[in-house]
Amino acid sequence: MTSQVLDKLKATAAHYDELTRLVSDPAVQADPPTYRTHSKALADLQETVDRYHEYDAVERQLAEAREVAASGDPELRELAAEEIAALEARLIDLDIILRGLLVPRDPNDDRDVVLEIRAGTGGDEAALFASDLFRMYTRYAERQRWKVDVLSASEGTAGGYKEIIAEIAGRGAFARLKYESGVHRVQRVPATEAQGRIHTSAATVAVLAEADEVDVKINEVDLKIDTYRSSGAGGQHVNTTDSAVRITHVPTGVIVACQEERSQIKNRAKAMKMLRSKILEAEQQRQAQAEAAARKSQVGSGDRSEKIRTYNFPQDRVTDHRIGLTKHNLPGIIDGNIDEIVDALRANAQAEALKESGL
């Protein structure tokens, strides 16, 4: 482990000790906002400090084992050699883990997600593919025990979705889904294709960190709010009151709409969630460009115009073009088994962040 990494770990441990002292201070405990801030910071550092203490303990055990190996007892030397090999391997593992933990966390990682999927090129087939992607993320969310709530949906003429927007709430939702933003391409024979020709269609995915009211201050006078009658497939899906809500944020021109609920109040609340998230994303992108950061800690640019993944049904193949990863078992992936892809993208992003930080 380099001296730079050790210095950072020592500073982190010292900060952890100071936070521990603060949360035990009666004056801090009497101030709930300050206590929550310090407690969260303490929890965020817990794993790093625990691993650092483990690294320190393994180093001491290794030094003791080397002393035994240097003794004159052949039997003890043999036992010590085995222990040395195991301890050295553990130190290497801990070094990798600790350097990863020292990389600054994305402050949005703990946020819930606003997921937007829109049909792109390909007409009806693109809408069906957008529906497949939504099902993939819904199934993945179920496995992660996240809650999915549809905020807005526009159905295609032959099924599927021209556009669907949903909230995904749960621990680590943004941390694991943020690399999904971009253009997803599908190659397959559409159900309507009589001659069995393979068509290529696409859908765009945007993953936005859900903003809290404290993150984005919205002045009511800047909002243009329209209500209208919900549209749908007919029957129970069509509302007889003006419950659908469209909100325009005049300063930025951002427009959101929601008609999923029968209550105008609930639709407005959902629309405001979408609006805050869109404004937060726009502000974060503006800051990133101003600082020339361009989201360097993420895989690729995250630009929605960037083709990030291809789902090839005839060859049972999924390829993520950003990291050159190819996986088979496409039906399983579409059914939400995307952990291997997500883990590979996160590992690659962490490696890039480590390289940039010089650790």
User: Does one domain contain both 313 and 195?
Assistant: yes
Query: At residue 148, what are phi and psi to the nearest 5 degrees?
Result: -115, 130
Residue 294 within a domain: no
Residue 94: name the closest of 116, 119, 62 by CA. 62
Residue 26 pLDDT greater than 90, yes or no: yes
Co-location of 171 and 315 in the same domain: yes
8 Å CB contact between 304 and 206? yes
Regarding whether 335 and 194 lie in a shared domain, the answer is yes
Tell me: do 225 and 193 sit in the same domain: no
For residue 305, the 8-state DSSP code is T
202 and 304 within one domain? yes
Are 127 and 147 part of one and the same domain? yes
- The residue from 68, 102, 136 where one domain ends is 102
CATH number for the domain that contains residue 279: 3.30.160.20
Please write the tens of the pLDDT for every residue from 283-321.
Answer: 777 766 654 443 333 334 434 456 999 999 999 999 999
Tens of pLDDT, residue by residue over 180-215, are: 999 999 999 987 676 778 999 999 999 988 876 656
Q: Give CA–CA dist 281/272, Å, rounded.
A: 14
* Complete edge-to-edge strand list for the sheet that includes strand 161-169: 147-155, 161-169, 113-119, 199-209, 182-188, 307-312, 317-320, 325-327
Residues 199 and 314 in one domain: yes
CATH number of the domain that residue 347 is part of? 3.30.70.1660
Does residue 320 fall inside a structural domain?
yes
- pLDDT at position 283 is 77
Position 289 scores a pLDDT of: 66
Q: Is residue 117 part of a domain?
A: yes
Structural contact between residues 242 and 227, judged by C-beta atoms closer than 8 angstroms: yes
Do 254 and 131 belong together in one domain?
A: no
| 225 and 343 share one domain | no
Specify if 107 maps to a domain.
Answer: no
Please give the share of the chain, as a percent, with pLDDT higher than 90: 50
The pLDDT of residue 66 is above 70: yes
Look at residue 108 and tell me if it is in a domain.
no
Which pTM was predicted?
0.69
Give a yes or no: residue 141 inside a domain: yes
Q: How far apart are CA 53 and CA 76, in angstroms?
A: 27
What confidence score (pLDDT) does residue 291 get? 46
Number of compact structural domains in the chain: 3
Residues 132 and 180 in one domain: yes
Contact at 8 Å (CB) between 112 and 170? yes
Domain of 139? 113-211+299-355
Rounded average pLDDT over 33-60: 93
**Do 27 and 174 fall within a single domain?**
no
Of the candidates 320, 322, 269, the one whose C-alpha atom is nearest the C-alpha of residue 295 is 322
- For residue 135, give Cα distances in angstroms to 81, 131, 138, 170, 336: 53, 6, 5, 17, 8
User: Which residues are CB-neighbours of 149 under 8 A, at least 6 positions away?
Assistant: 166, 167, 169, 270
Tell whether 266 and 284 lie within a shared domain.
Answer: yes
